[in-house]
């Protein structure tokens, strides 16, 4: 059944038992919404130099958006920023693949549980749900680390 390709067991597990949920101390906080459906997330990042010490979040939304935030927390906390950016861009590439990308071993090594979202990329209306927390993380990171491009618009 096609639905199972979207709602992988891994995704439903993260949805029911989210990792690192709840807001904790951070260097920057952002609030992102998906205006078409009302999914919302508030996300904070805490850095120890270039190492991600914590990503904490609170939000309301569908299983895909909530599970994605949980996977993000699991994957990124403790990483160096450069590694985290590689993971983020691999996830973005997967989500924009319209179901055409079959994750290989190399991708699976980078994305771990996040490869379970491959099936979501076939559903255009849901890609934004999966990307919500990742876009929020990118934005929060730019703010926390003083990305000059961001400062101009902030």
In sequence order, what DSSP letters do the residues of 22-78 get, joined into one string? B----SEEEEEEETTTTEEEEEEEEEETTEEEEEEEEEE--HHHHHHHHHHHHHHTT
**DSSP 8-state assignment for residue 100:** -
Q: Enumerate residues 6+ apart whose C-beta is below 8 A from 89.
A: none
Site string for other proteins, 21-60 (x = CB under 8 A): ---------------xxxxx-------------------x
In the range 127-146, which residues lie near other proteins by CB under 8 A?
Answer: 129
Which contiguous run of DSSP H or E holds residue 141? helix 124-144
- Residues in region 6-25 near other proteins by CB under 8 A: 6-7, 12
**Cβ 78 to other proteins, closest distance in Å?**
29
Of 18 and 26, which CB lies nearer to other proteins in the complex structure? 18
Contact set for other proteins, span 74-133 (CB under 8 A): 123, 126, 129
Which parts of this chain interact with other proteins (CB under 8 A)?
1-3, 6-7, 12, 36-40, 60-66, 123, 126, 129
């Amino acid at each position: 059944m096609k639905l199972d390709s979207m709602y992988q067991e891994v995704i439903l597990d993260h949805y029911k038992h989210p990792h690192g949920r709840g807001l904790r101390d951070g260097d920057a906080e952002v609030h992102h919404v998906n205006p078409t459906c009302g999914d919302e997330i508030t996300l904070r990042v805490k850095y120890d130099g270039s190492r991600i010490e914590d990503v904490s979040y609170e939000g309301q939304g569908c299983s895909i958006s909530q599970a994605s935030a949980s996977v993000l927390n699991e994957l990124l906390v403790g990483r160096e920023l450069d590694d985290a950016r590689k993971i983020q861009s691999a996830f973005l590439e997967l989500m924009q693949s319209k179901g055409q990308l079959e994750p290989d071993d190399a991708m699976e090594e980078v994305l771990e549980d996040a490869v379970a979202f491959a099936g979501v990329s076939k559903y255009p209306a849901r890609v934004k749900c999966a990307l919500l927390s990742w876009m929020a993380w990118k934005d929060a990171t730019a703010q926390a680390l003083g990305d000059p491009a961001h400062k101009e618009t902030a």
